[in-house]
Amino acid sequence: MHIRTFRAASLQDALEEIRQQMGTDASVLHTRQVRDGWMGWLGRTYVEVTAGLRDSTHTSTSDSLHEDRTEGSTLGDEHESPRRSMFMHSSSMLAGPLQAYREQLIEAGVAASTADRWLQATESFAAGLGESHGPPWMEHLQRSITRELRLAGPIRTQPGSKHIVALVGPTGVGKTTTIAKLAAGFRIEERRRVGLVTIDTFRIAAVQQLEAYAEIMDLPMEVVEKPAQMQPAIERLGDVDLVLIDTAGRSPASDARIDQLVELLQMAQPDETHLVMAATSSVATLRSVLRGFAPARPTAAILTKLDEATSTAGVLSAITASDQFPGIPMSYITHGQQVPDDIQVANAETLLSRLMPNTLQSQHLDAA
């Protein structure tokens, strides 16, 4: 595939230049808005369009603009709308297996523009390798998504140095159980001294649950109700290597509750803040969570309930990097209720192993 990048004052000007220089068979692979000047400041805004033209003549493309109609998008609208408004609908150049993948990705909640970006990168990757007869499409698709996936690695502690980690997120995603899994792993496997803090005083059961885990593992635990109590509580934990802070579940749409959380975190001064999200959530919900908890400045994300998710395509489309969204690094994934077994450091292989629903992925469509 012959690929060129064009810059113009508007999308229409860029498309016209592409048609003049590459012909009507060229397809848009990538668009973004750029600004010249020093580090993007004090400059003019341009549209940068990357177009591709296959060497073979059997492919075609439409010059009509592609509009994403993903229902219920919240954060996605903000991050995807510039791309949506400038993205050429070129899915009809896609090979037969990739067309089927596109349908499944969109059905899983992936925005059409994101699906097109992934699949066009997949086709370009295969073309670059000279694989034109039945390439392993699924493997190439997984590689394309991996390029946009950010991995944070595990929490790292040093003996004798107190490392503070807070877990935040909406209600029902499994923060308390995840805290217990992390605490058990560091206490038993890493031989670290661990202390627990909970500020989930809204749910008595959550406090009792964490107290039970603390008693079983013989860990010090403190309950905090007000910001002023945070630092004294952390000090009372003593000479521990790791402090894990469990927070109350909050609606990402409740600005007041998020502000309370931010105030508590400011008093705790955590070294890391992990946003806990459920893999079973819709793409719209995940994007709402990412937007709503942005004031908490999460440094990484933990994905729970992976065992209950039918596929990971939707969640990956919400957390991976794009031109309009830097992505959020993944630290851990959980796949069950067993403490401490059902947790592991996030890795691309596991996150992509069930990218598609089993009914489609098991076929791989490589023979089509």
Q: What is the pLDDT of residues 322-342, one digit of tens each?
A: 777 888 999 999 998 888 788
> Which residues lie below 8 Å from residue 229, measured CB to CB, with a gap of 6+?
none
Query: What separation, in Å, do the N-terminal and C-terminal C-alpha atoms of the chain show?
Result: 21
Q: Which residue has the tokens 């994101």?
A: 114
> Which residues lie below 8 Å from residue 25, measured CB to CB, with a gap of 6+?
53, 54, 57, 59, 60, 61
Phi (first) and psi of residue 242, to 5 degrees: -140, 130
**The CATH fold of domain 163-353:** Rossmann fold (3.40.50)
| Distance separating alpha carbons of residues 199 and 222, to the nearest angstrom | 9
Q: Are strands 194-198 and 221-223 parallel, antiparallel or unpaired?
A: parallel
Q: Which two tokens stand for residue 182?
A: 């992390």
In 150-227, which residue ranges form alpha helices assigned H by DSSP? 175-184, 204-217
**Mean pLDDT across 42-53:** 67
Three-state secondary-structure class, residue 294: helix
Of 6-20, 87-101, 208-222, 326-340, minimum mean pLDDT range:
87-101
| Distance separating alpha carbons of residues 302 and 347, to the nearest angstrom | 12
**Mean pLDDT across 282-292:** 92
**Mean pLDDT across 309-314:** 91
Q: In 10 A of CB 225, how many CB atoms? A: 12
In 3D, which of 72, 62, 64 has the Cα closest to residue 24?
Answer: 62
pLDDT tens figures, 212-262: 888 889 999 999 988 999 999 999 999 999 999 999 877 777 788 889 899
In 3D, which of 325, 331, 365 has the Cα closest to residue 351?
Answer: 331
Indicate the domain borders of the chain. 2-146, 163-353
pLDDT at 329: 95
Most confident of the ranges 41-45, 82-86, 252-256, 363-367:
252-256
Q: Which two tokens stand for residue 244?
A: 């894990």
